[in-house]
Amino acid sequence: MVKNLAIMVITMLVLLFLVGCGLSEQKISNIVSASLQKSLNSDPQYMELNLKLKEFKIVEQNNNSYQGIATIEYAKALHEVHLDIIVDGSKVTWDLKPGSLSFIPR
């Protein structure tokens, strides 16, 4: 279940506007959070669960690598979900860390 979402998401590349020396953390955060919510809404495994992204933060690891922390609401409870984010020029890819959605009953 998580693997299917991860495969779908990792292949999804979001084209961004080019910004001078690179993308700001805020812009990366906005793009990834929108893409994550869109994936949760459209993936057949999750779309019926009404998962809502409540908050999203990123932390830079190096020049093009970031860690994301999403707070997702499910069944009136908040859960932290961790992501790996790679920025390559004007493309951003992200992937859920293994077990990130383990709070969802199978």
For residue 27, is it within any domain? yes
In the block, tokens 């009953």 appear at 105
What one-character-per-residue DSSP string does 40-60 give? HHH-TTTGGGT-EEEEEEEEE
How many structural domains comprise the chain? 1
Percent of the chain past pLDDT 70, that is, above it, reads: 80
Q: Which of 105, 104, 84 is nearest to 94 (CA)?
A: 84
Domain range holding 41? 2-96
Q: What CATH number is attached to the domain comprising 79?
A: 3.10.450
For residue 81, is it within any domain? yes
For residue 102, is it within any domain? no
For residue 53, is it within any domain? yes
Q: What pLDDT digit, counting tens, does each position of 1-50 carry?
A: 666 655 555 555 333 333 345 789 999 999 999 999 999 999 999 999 99
For residue 106, is it within any domain? no
Q: At CA 86, angle to CA 85 and CA 91, rounded to 5?
A: 115
Q: Are strands 14-15 and 52-60 parallel, antiparallel or unpaired?
A: unpaired
For residue 103, is it within any domain? no
For residue 104, is it within any domain? no
